[in-house]
Structure 1
Amino acid sequence: MSFFRTLLSPLRPAIPSFPSLSLFRYGQTRGRQVLAPKSMKYMKRHKGKIPIPLGGSTKGTSLAFGDYGIRIRGNGLRLNAKQLTTAREVLRRKLKPIKHAKIYLRVFPDVPVCIKGNETRMGKGKGTFEFWATRVGPARVLFEIGTPPGTVPIREELARDALRQAGDKLPCVTEFITRATPPRLGSLDILPEPPSSIPKTNIEVTSAIP
């Protein structure tokens, strides 16, 4: 019997190998518009803390791709994929009549959140996977909208209305920003330094000591 197994082993079809922690293992499918990572090395992760720029960085607090956007006003929080998807669908529905309009999502839910059932005893490992989320710091830009160069830009009144409706779907207070809005560090706006009012002269200073 072992002799026939040895002969038939090369004829067995090759089984495709998937990542050990892919989304297929948890009964999920990732479509084109689904906000979820393709694969993760560790499916269960610590809760973590909200990133606060203690070093004075203003990265992610101003526009980078579009002409208008919304950012968080106040403390940071954790947003899940369902909330971001709902806000993005509102923007897509409002900007559908505008040609060449684009929506930019500046944050992405890549943190797995695990939840245990109610009235469960302590211990016996971490809970099961529930949803994807992202940790968003204070004054972080969430969405941007705009059109490519050379096309008709979006009117500011329409952009304000669309971003206002999208912000209403999020569990936080947001503010409307433009290209002229300065970056923010916490609750402090970082304004550019004004030019010096003292005129520069070309007077040479010589030493009075012989």
Structure 2
Amino acid sequence: MALMPKRVKHRKSQRGRIKGNATRGNRVIYGEYGLQAVEGGWVSAQTIEAGRIAAQQYVRGEGRLYIRIFPTKSVTSIPLETRMGKGKGEPDYWAAVVKPGTVLYEVSGITEQAAKICFARLAHKMPVRVRLVKRELD
């Protein structure tokens, strides 16, 4: 089941613009390795779920997977071949707004080589360019 908010104040949101780099959620906190976005964009709830399944299948019993993004933006669309006017359209899917530098997924309890392979599988599914990052020791 794809992620979506339980309730929202407004059903339809405007598109907006992705400006600047992520200042929050941009370092690995929960796991040892993370998958960080290099460019901005929208990641749909279906894509997040597909990534979760792909990573979970690889990690299986030995590691732990953390999802660091949540889809809070409703994306609307009008049916094809509809005349102008008649409003904005119904919510089509939910998406997470991702700025450059946002950590999307994290894993712990597996080796760096295993994390590399796991995140390579996820990178194919993501609509934004990503890279592997390690946890910074304070």
Query: TM-score with structure 1 length normalisation?
Result: 0.61
2:57 paired residue number: 93
Q: Residue 66 of structure 1 is aligned with which of 31, 53, 63?
A: 31
User: The residue matched to 2:120 in structure 1 has which SS?
Assistant: helix
State the structure with more CA Rg: 1
Q: Structure 1 stretches (4+) deviating beyond 6 angstroms?
A: none
Give the RMSD, CA atoms, in angstroms. Answer: 1.7
Q: Which residue of 1 aligns with 2:79?
A: 117
For residue 58 of structure 1, report the CA deviation from its aligned partner. Answer: 3.3
1:37 aligns with 2:1: no
* Unaligned 5+ runs, structure 2: none
| Residue 45 of structure 1: how far off its partner (Å) | 1.4
User: Between the two proteins, what is the percent identity of the paired residues?
Assistant: 31
Pairwise CA distance, 1:34: 3.3
- Check whether the contact 1:116–1:126 (CA below 8 A) recurs between aligned residues: yes
Given candidates 158, 165, 176, the residue that maps to 2:114 is 158
Unaligned stretches of 5+ residues in structure 1:
1-32, 147-152, 182-210
Distance 1:44 1:61 in 2: 27
Maintained 8 Å contact 1:44/1:112: yes
Distance in 2 (CA, whole Å) between partners of 1:124 and 1:93 is: 45
Could you tell me whether the CA contact under 8 Å between 1:50 and 1:78 is conserved in 2?
Answer: no
Higher RCO (C-alpha under 8 Å, 6+ residues apart): 2
Q: Deviations over 1:140-196 (max 9, x none)?
A: 1100011xxxxxx31111111111101111122211110149xxxxxxxxxxxxxxx
What secondary structure, in the 3-state scheme, does the structure 2 residue paired with 1:176 have?
strand
Structure with the bigger percentage of strand: 2
Match of 1:80 among 44, 68, 82: 44
Q: 1:168 aligns with which of 119, 124, 127?
A: 124
Give the paired residue count: 137
Contact 2:5 2:72 in 1 (8 A): yes
Task: Name the SS for the 1:131 alignment partner.
Answer: strand
Give CA-to-partner distance per residue, 1:74-131, whole Å, 9 cap, x none: x301111111110111111011131xx2211111001111101122111111101110
5 Å-filtered alignment, 1:140-151, equals 140-146=102-108
Match of 1:46 in 2: 14
User: Which residue in 2 is equivalent to 1:184?
Assistant: none
Determine which of 165, 177, 183 is the counterpart of 2:133.
Answer: 177
Structure 1 letter corresponding to 2:56: R
Match of 2:64 in 1: 102
